[in-house]
Amino acid sequence: MKSLVLHIILCLSLLVSSISFSQTVEVCDSCSTTTLKNAIAKANPFDTISIKKGTYKEYGIKVDKPLTIIGEDYPVIDGQLKGEVITVISDNVTIDGLFVINVGTSYTEDYAAIRVRKSKHFVIQNVVLEKLFFGIYIEKSSYGKLYHNKIIGDAKEEYNSGNGIQLWYSNHIEIEHNYVEHVRDGIYLEFSDDCLIKNNVSAENLRYGLHFMFSNNDIYQDNTFENNGAGVAVMFSKKIKMYNNIFKENWGTASYGMLLKEINDAEIIGNTFEENTIGINIEGSNRILYKHNNFKKNGWAVKVRGACYTNRFIENNFLYNSFDIAYNSKINDNVFDRNYWSNYTGYDLDKDGIGDVPYRPVKLFSYIVNRTPETIILLRSLFIDIIDFSEKVSPVFTPDNLLDHNPLTKKITW
């Protein structure tokens, strides 16, 4: 409570001070100040630095006082591949409208285009980053906002490329409306709690579109993850909420829309998994609610790799997947109820919208493919249909109790 009051007072004082005392320092080729570094040195706390259009060859810029740095018509800050470009080490810094290029690459240090270290209440918005190593790196900071940034990398190999947006021990960060492509991981969170990741697009990245490690109570929603090397990985985290995201076209051997590993008590609602080799790959994840998701045209909609207990799959649409569910064991402790399965062939005599025969989403063939992967070439063969049918009648290799007792006969809309 005390901290909150303090917080409010601080905010108010900031507001007042910025209104009453702030001055503007202009930076341009013909101005009295021609570099950003000089402008920062010259400026008083809570001043605004306005950078005019032009190219500024600078790196290692330290923002050590609360400043608002605004670019007009996207001035270019060229790091000349020499190191980190901007490092924020003060609270209450706003960076807006810059075009940062040529960040230095190093094997020992993670140079970023913009780094925020141990700071609070920062805003980074409308920034464009190109030719970068790491993009925006938030380190042990909190209460920041990253809005409308565009990060376009040119990563070729995983070992010498960095991440687009990286959070490390940072809490309460809002990441919205950013666009990240061609870096290693689009957005990476490690030990970062209570963050909101919303309306971002992360595409064509070498490894993951979004990568979560040891981060709890985060929400990500309305994002699009498309065509990334391995999709989205959520690992070792608790109470994550994933709403209305789109996972698309993540193709490849070790590729999936989403990888869940050691995830507990998450909610996965309203997402669309379309044309991924594996829609969701689940390992050691418990008490997760899957509801109102669309799984469409995936190789495997859901692949369960074991040690997954009391998960609930309720009211999802499974549409035209090569395999709906794959299990590698005979034990099942998860619930499937009231889903729509396009592969369902039963009937509904009482017309209540629920099929009269339970649906068995795990096929014998998925078990065979798991054992001998080359047999995938026999997918949709008449012979396979016949053996799948016999397995359906009397399960020998697949979990006996894995049934949707109330398969819906119409696609669900919500």
Q: Which of 315, 247, 314, 307 is nearest to 278 (CA)?
A: 247
Task: Indicate left, alpha or beta for 177 from its phi (over 0: left) and psi (-120 to 50: alpha).
Answer: left
d(CA 230, CA 180): 15
Task: Name the minimum Å distance from CB 252 to another protein.
Answer: 6
Q: Of the two residues 220 and 323, which places its CB atom closer to another protein in the complex?
A: 323
**112: which strand partners?**
134
- Nearer residue to another protein within complex by CB, 186 or 299: 299
In the complex, the smallest distance separating the C-beta of residue 299 from another protein, rounded to whole angstroms, is 3
331 contacts 291 by C-beta, under 8 angstroms: no
Minimal distance, residue 406 CB to another protein, in Å? 20
Q: Would you say 252 or 306 has its CB closer to another protein?
A: 252
Which CB sits closer to another protein, 178 or 298? 298
Shortest spacing between CB 181 and another protein, in angstroms: 21
Least Å from the CB of residue 380 to another protein: 6
Type of residue numbered 30:
S
Least CB distance to another protein at residue 294 (A): 13
Which two tokens mark 104? 């230095």
Would you call 80 helix, strand, or coil by DSSP? Answer: coil
Q: How many CB atoms lie within 10 A of CB 41?
A: 13
- Tokens, residue 381: 């063969």
Q: For residues 2 and 380, which CB has a smaller minimum distance to another protein in the complex?
A: 380
- 91 or 274, CB closer to another protein? 274
Range 217-240 burial, b when 16+ CB lie within 10 A, else e: ebebbbbbbbbbbbbbbbbebbeb
Q: Output Rg (C-alpha) for the chain, integer angstroms.
A: 25
Shortest distance, CB of residue 365 to another protein, whole angstroms? 9
46 or 365: CB nearest another protein? 365
Please give the sequence-ordered ranges of beta strands (E in DSSP) within 118-172, or none if there are none: 123-125, 128-130, 134-139, 145-147, 150-152, 165-168
Bridging pattern class, strands 246-248 and 208-213: unpaired
Longest dimension (CA), the chain: 85
C-beta of 193 vs 275, nearer to another protein:
275
- Smallest gap from Cβ 386 to another protein, in A, equals 7
Residue 255 or 334: the one with the smaller Cβ distance to another protein is 255
Q: Shortest approach of another protein to residue 411 CB, angstroms?
A: 8
CB of 384 to another protein, least distance (A): 7
CA atoms within a 13 Å half-sphere pointing along the CA-CB vector of 200: 27
Q: At a CB cut-off of 8 Å and minimum separation 6, what does 386 contact?
A: none
Question: How does DSSP classify residue 43?
Answer: P
- List residues binding another protein (CB under 8 A): 251-253, 255, 275-278, 297-300, 319-320, 322-323, 342, 368, 371-386
Q: Give CA–CA dist 295/314, Å, rounded.
A: 13
C-beta of 53 vs 306, nearer to another protein:
306
**CA within 13 Å, CB half, 36:** 31
| Structure-token match 């013909």, residue found | 30
